[in-house]
């Protein structure tokens, strides 16, 4: 029921392994989905909606998560987009849509900004929280450790990675045995209703267990790349880019959505009044339709 059509990997030009899954119709319009943090290629927001849309959905494990190797600390968010070009070339995808959920939002943004010749339409769901150093109040909302990591990421990414690994142990280690600990007791009912389905919940948690297989270091490059120098700006996104926001989301602030919308030319904002952080599940068919250009 929750099995992808394919689950495989490729070797990148620098020797790293990049793992990914494919869902839906492999002959359909291609869309890449960038997973949350920490999450992995093993979870599709809504398999039935993906099939109904006729989409060819590709979900890569980001560096360090699942079975994708972590890169050198010097790899930037901009440089990472070449991984996606290599993946698309292997799959014979000339152009493709991109969607980032939660922690994957910035990766969709990177593709839209850096490789617009390969991307048709982009968007993010429940994740527009960066750039930390530019959004008003964002840096102040970080913990003391977060601010130290942010400062180091700008000047010494290798040292920042060590600090991230140390800081992440407290919350990553429990996930390896108890992935359900990722859910917060304050999560709104709009999100928790999905976990009433035991099979759905088991698949969601399986994807978390897979994500953290190497331990706290899994999130190291991911965090440093986000806190560090991206190599592009919000204003560099010139293609159509959607910002989908769940009104009850306890993690993504409306102010962050507004900040991104004010900086991205031609951004389209959609607020789902019935959803929280899991708007990507509640409205996956609508989101896919907007990216592949089919009637919602």
Q: How long is the chain?
A: 296
Torsion of Cα atoms, 172 then 177 then 180 then 185, to 10°: -60
Query: For the segment 236-278, what is each residue's pLDDT rounded down to a tens digit?
Result: 999 999 999 999 998 888 989 999 999 999 899 999 999 999 9
pLDDT given for residue 280 in this prediction: 97
Q: What is the pTM of this model?
A: 0.95
CATH architecture of 6-292: 3-Layer(aba) Sandwich (3.40)
Structure tokens at 90: 């292997």
Query: For the segment 109-141, what is each residue's pLDDT rounded down to a tens digit?
Result: 999 999 999 999 999 999 977 777 777 788 888
> Average per-residue pLDDT in the chain?
93
Answer yes or no: are the C-beta atoms of 41 and 59 closer than 8 Å.
yes
Answer yes or no: are the C-beta atoms of 143 and 227 closer than 8 Å.
no
Q: Please report how many Cα atoms fall inside a 13 Å half-sphere around the Cα of residue 111, on the Cβ side.
A: 29
Query: For the segment 56-108, what is each residue's pLDDT rounded down to a tens digit?
Result: 999 999 999 999 999 999 999 999 999 999 999 999 999 999 999 999 999 99
């Amino acid at each position: 029921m929750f099995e992808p059509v394919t689950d495989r990997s490729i070797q990148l030009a620098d020797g790293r392994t990049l793992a990914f899954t494919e869902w839906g119709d492999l002959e359909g319009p291609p869309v890449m989905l960038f997973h949350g943090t920490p999450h992995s290629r093993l979870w599709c927001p809504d398999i039935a909606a993906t099939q109904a849309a006729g989409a060819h959905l590709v979900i890569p494990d980001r560096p360090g998560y699942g079975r994708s190797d972590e890169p050198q600390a010097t790899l930037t968010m901009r440089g990472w987009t070449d991984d996606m070009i290599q993946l698309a070339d292997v799959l014979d995808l000339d152009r493709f849509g991109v969607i980032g959920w939660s922690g994957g939002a910035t990766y969709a943004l990177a593709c839209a900004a850096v490789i617009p010749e390969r991307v048709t339409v982009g968007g993010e769901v429940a994740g527009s929280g960066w750039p930390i150093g530019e959004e008003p109040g964002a840096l102040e909302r970080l913990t003391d450790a977060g601010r130290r990591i942010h400062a180091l990421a700008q000047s010494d990414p290798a040292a920042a990675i060590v600090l991230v690994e140390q800081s992440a142990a407290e919350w990553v280690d429990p996930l390896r045995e108890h992935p359900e600990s990722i859910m917060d007791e304050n999560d709104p009912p709009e999100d928790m209703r999905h976990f009433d389905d035991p099979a759905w919940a088991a698949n969601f948690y399986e994807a978390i267990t897979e994500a953290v297989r190497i331990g706290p270091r899994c999130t190291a490059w991911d965090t440093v790349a986000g806190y560090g120098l991206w190599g592009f700006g919000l204003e560099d996104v010139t293609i159509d880019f959607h910002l989908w926001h769940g009104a009850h989301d306890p993690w993504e602030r409306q102010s962050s959505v507004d900040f991104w919308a004010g900086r991205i030319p031609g951004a389209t904002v959609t607020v789902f009044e019935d959803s929280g952080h899991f708007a990507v599940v509640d409205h996956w068919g609508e989101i896919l339709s907007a990216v592949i250009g089919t009637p919602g």
